[in-house]
């Protein structure tokens, strides 16, 4: 019994969504791939995957099996590579990252990363929800903000400096606030997922703000600010181009707001595949050179 081959067929079927693609990749023919999957299910004693001519879909048992087996196969391949003295990251890397950070800071790094590591494939899961790394078989999650207590490992790779901003059109119509105490007299665009709610946490003078627009995504806050709907407190890199062009103005820069840490999270350092390590290293190095993202990096 070649259970390792069966497991490889299963893992690649999940990741490619196609038995034909697995057969082509492994050079064994599609009927053999189907037989290997059936043998694996028979050995385990449960169905892992529903297969049809059009679609592959995992059963709940298959989802758990994939999440647990894939790191084990990664560790085995890395051990073999180390034994051969190779340093050649390869395979599929699954990364979860928030929408705004992905658009403005991570997606521009994808092309040079893949050029540097031609045997790595990247699956970016872009969204602002909190994913379960183990259940969803995510290698690395990039998160902005203070971390909750967690069994996950974390490496700090950057810092998001927050500022108050408004469009020049809004300021021309409503005036420029000089201190946080002026903000209650202004329309503020509220980020509904902010941990402090409607209280903007200036270090010396936290202030309650209000406004007619409340948005649950940084991209939505950005759009509202550019439309002249009010003042927002957001990471400065979200408005870098508009600040440079003069369309948006940074307000009260002398009033400091605590920055937000940016972390790379992963389930267990011992099973972190090399392709994940080189990706995290790249982000940390690039963020360290970016004046809007640099900060003390904690290994």
pLDDT interval class at 131 (50, 70, 90): confident
Full strand arrangement of the beta sheet holding 248-251: 232-235, 162-167, 248-251
Q: What is the pLDDT of residues 23-35, one digit of tens each?
A: 887 888 889 999 9
Ordered DSSP codes for 213-262: EEESSHHHHHHHHHTT--BEEEEGGGGHHHHHHTSEEEE-TTS--PPEEE
Mean pLDDT score of the chain: 88
Q: Is the pLDDT of residue 70 over 50?
A: yes
Q: Is the pLDDT of residue 42 over 80?
A: yes
pLDDT interval class at 296 (50, 70, 90): very low
Quick check: pTM over 0.75? no
Mean pLDDT of 214-224: 94
Among 162, 163, 164, 155, which residue's Cα sits nearest to residue 262? 155
Q: Does domain 3-83 have CATH number 1.10.10.10?
A: yes
What local confidence, expressed as pLDDT, does residue 83 receive? 62
**Residue percentage of the chain with pLDDT more than 90:** 54
Residue 18 Cα distances to 13, 53, 177, 178, 275, angstroms: 6, 10, 58, 60, 23
What local confidence, expressed as pLDDT, does residue 269 receive? 57
**Residue percentage of the chain with pLDDT more than 70:** 93
What local confidence, expressed as pLDDT, does residue 298 receive? 32
Residue with the larger pLDDT of the pair 132 and 222: 222
Which residues of the chain form CATH 1.10.10.10?
Answer: 3-83
Q: Is the pLDDT of residue 13 over 60?
A: yes
Alpha carbons 113 and 253: distance in angstroms, whole number: 35
Mean pLDDT of 224-237: 96
The CATH code that applies to domain 91-159+260-288 is 3.40.190.10
Which residues of the chain form CATH 3.40.190.10?
Answer: 91-159+260-288, 162-251
Selecting from 3.40.47.10, 3.40.190.10, 1.10.10.10, 2.40.30.10, what CATH number does the domain 162-251 have?
3.40.190.10
Cβ–Cβ under 8 Å, residues 139 and 266:
yes
């Amino acid at each position: 019994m070649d259970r390792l081959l069966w497991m490889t067929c299963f893992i690649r079927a999940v990741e490619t969504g196609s038995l034909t693609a697995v057969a082509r990749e492994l050079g064994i023919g599609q009927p053999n791939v189907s037989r290997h999957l059936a043998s694996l299910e028979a050995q385990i004693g449960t169905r892992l995957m529903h297969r049809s001519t059009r679609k592959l879909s995992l059963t709940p048992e298959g989802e758990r099996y994939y999440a647990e087996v894939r790191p084990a196969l990664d560790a085995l391949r890395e051990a073999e590579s180390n034994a051969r003295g190779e340093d050649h990251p390869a395979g599929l890397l699954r990364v979860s990252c928030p929408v705004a950070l992905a658009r403005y800071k991570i997606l521009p790094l994808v092309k040079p990363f893949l050029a540097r590591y031609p045997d790595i494939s990247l699956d970016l899961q872009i969204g602002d929800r909190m994913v379960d790394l183990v259940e969803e078989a995510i290698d690395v999650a990039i998160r902005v903000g203070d971390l909750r207590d967690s069994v996950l490992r974390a490496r700090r790779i950057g810092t998001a400096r927050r500022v108050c901003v408004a469009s020049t059109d809004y300021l021309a119509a409503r005036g420029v606030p000089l201190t946080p105490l002026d903000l209650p007299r202004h329309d503020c665009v509220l980020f509904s997922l902010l941990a402090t709610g409607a209280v903007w946490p200036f270090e010396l003078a936290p202030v309650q703000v209000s406004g007619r627009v409340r948005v649950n995504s940084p991209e939505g806050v950005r759009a509202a600010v550019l439309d002249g709907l009010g003042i927002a407190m957001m990471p400065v890199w979200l408005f870098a181009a508009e600040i440079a062009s003069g369309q948006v103005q940074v307000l009260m820069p002398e009033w400091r707001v605590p920055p937000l840490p940016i972390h790379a999270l992963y389930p267990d350092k011992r099973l972190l595949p090399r392709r994940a390590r080189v990706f995290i290293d790249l982000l940390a190095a690039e963020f360290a050179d970016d004046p809007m993202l640099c900060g003390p990096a904690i290994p």
